[in-house]
Amino acid sequence: MPDLTDQTCPFCGPVKTNVIDSRPVDYRGVRAIRRRRVCPTCTHRFTTFELSEATINHGPTIEELLKEAKIDLLKTLASSI
Ligand SMILES: [Zn+2]
Tell me the per-residue pLDDT of 29-45, one tens digit each, with 9 for 90 and over: 777 888 899 999 999 99
Spans of all domains in the chain: 3-77
How many angstroms separate the alpha carbon of residue 59 from the centre of ligand 1?
Answer: 31
> CB of 37 within 8 A of CB of 18?
yes
- Taking 50 as the pLDDT cut, the residues of the chain under it are 1-4, 80-81
How many angstroms separate the alpha carbon of residue 29 from the centre of ligand 1?
Answer: 32
Is the pTM of the predicted complex or chain greater than 0.75? Answer: no
Close Cβ partners of 19 (under 8 Å, ≥ 6 residues apart): 2, 3, 4, 5, 35, 36, 37
